[in-house]
């Protein structure tokens, strides 16, 4: 079985949600027209890292994002891993949240970023989530993480142990550490014997520049697609039968030693 993913490596207009909702809606249409099963967006695409302006900008209960993504998924018959957006909940607490929609516009999962990135002051503004995400899209067992989570292999392992075949990572990963991004994406794919679809943004904000290099990596760590440094859609076909041929000869999950480590 093959599964076609569209990586939406967009630029994000800092502090301008309306422009960003338009960009995302158009990208969903374009990805569907090209026959993708799922389209994936980067981190915090509604606001960018406008953390000091969240009171004005964050999406109340994710309402606008959920409406936009649900409608776009249904109208275009495509699943969406909705990157992440800045949300605010009752009580005025902010979160960095992913919403996932199936091709009929139904919410199939959500995730609040668990590891907050102190270097970019995220921990001063955002509340950390406390639950993982595990969902199915078109029958494919999947999970989704956000940016800095990529540095925590033990967090990825929790979903690999549940059987995730495709792992999504949505990010705003700055240019100076892009080689670490590439190495970590490949490592998470190899050690978990899963496909990893990792989507970064391009452009810049007040403090950082972002040079893309969104990657689709197979369970052996081979790069199937690298979106380079320009904004746009990149497509990749995941051959899900490859999971069996990789997991058969090197049965990492059977050979684990949970008596020594969890
Ligand atoms: O871990 C890194 O180097 C980048 C993380 C990051 O930018 C984030 O979590 O927003």
Strand partners, 200: none
170: nearest Cα among 58, 81, 247: 81
* pLDDT < 70 regions, the chain: none
Is the shortest distance between the CB of 117 and ligand 1 below 6 Å? yes
Nearest residue by C-alpha to atom 2 in ligand 1: 148
Is the shortest distance between the CB of 151 and ligand 1 below 6 Å? yes
Is the shortest distance between the CB of 147 and ligand 1 below 6 Å? yes
What is the predicted pLDDT for the residue at 262?
81
The rounded distance, in Å, linking the Cα atoms of 208 and 203 is 9
CB 238 within 8 A of CB 216: yes
For the question of residue 147 being annotated catalytic, the response is: yes
The rounded distance, in Å, linking the Cα atoms of 46 and 65 is 8
CB proximity list for 139: less than 8 A, separation 6 or greater = none
Tell whether pTM > 0.90.
yes
Q: Which domains does the chain have, with CATH numbers?
A: 2-255 (3.60.110.10)
For the question of residue 113 being annotated catalytic, the response is: yes
- Indicate which residue of 66, 113, 122, 186 is catalytic: 113
CB 77 within 8 A of CB 103: yes
CB 198 within 8 A of CB 184: no
For the question of residue 244 being annotated catalytic, the response is: no
What is the predicted pLDDT for the residue at 132?
96
ipTM score for this prediction = 0.97
Is the shortest distance between the CB of 177 and ligand 1 below 6 Å? yes
For 173, the token pair is 């990963």
What is the predicted pLDDT for the residue at 205?
95
Distances in Å between the alpha carbon of 118 and those of 43, 129, 131, 142? 16, 15, 20, 28
Residue whose pair of structure tokens reads 């990208």 in the numeric block: 27
């Amino acid at each position: 079985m093959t599964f076609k993913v569209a990586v939406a490596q967009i630029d994000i207009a800092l502090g301008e949600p309306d422009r960003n909702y338009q960009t995302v809606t158009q990208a969903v249409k374009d990805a569907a027209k090209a026959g993708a099963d799922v389209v994936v967006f980067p981190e915090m695409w509604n606001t960018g890292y406008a953390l000091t302006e969240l009171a004005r900008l964050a999406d109340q209960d994710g309402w606008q994002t959920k409406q936009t993504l649900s409608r776009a998924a249904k109208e275009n018959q495509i699943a969406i891993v909705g990157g992440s957006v800045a949300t605010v909940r009752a009580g005025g607490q902010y979160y960095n949240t992913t919403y996932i929609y199936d091709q009929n516009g139904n919410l199939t999962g959500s995730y609040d970023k668990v590891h907050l990135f102190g270097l970019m002051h995220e921990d001063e503004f955002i509340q950390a989530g406390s639950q993982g995400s595990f969902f199915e899209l078109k029958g494919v067992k999947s999970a989704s993480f956000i940016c800095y989570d990529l540095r925590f292999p033990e967090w990825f392992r929790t979903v690999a142990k549940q059987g995730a075949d495709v792992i999504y990572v949505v990010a705003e990963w700055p240019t100076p550490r892009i080689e670490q991004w590439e190495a970590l994406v490949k490592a998470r794919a190899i050690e978990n014997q899963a496909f990893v679809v990792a989507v970064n943004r391009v452009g810049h904000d007040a403090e950082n520049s972002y040079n893309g290099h969104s990657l689709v990596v197979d369970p052996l760590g081979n790069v199937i697609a690298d979106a380079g440094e320009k904004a746009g859609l990149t497509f990749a076909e995941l051959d899900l039968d490859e999971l069996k041929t990789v997991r058969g000869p090197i049965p990492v999950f059977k050979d684990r030693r949970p008596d020594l480590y969890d």
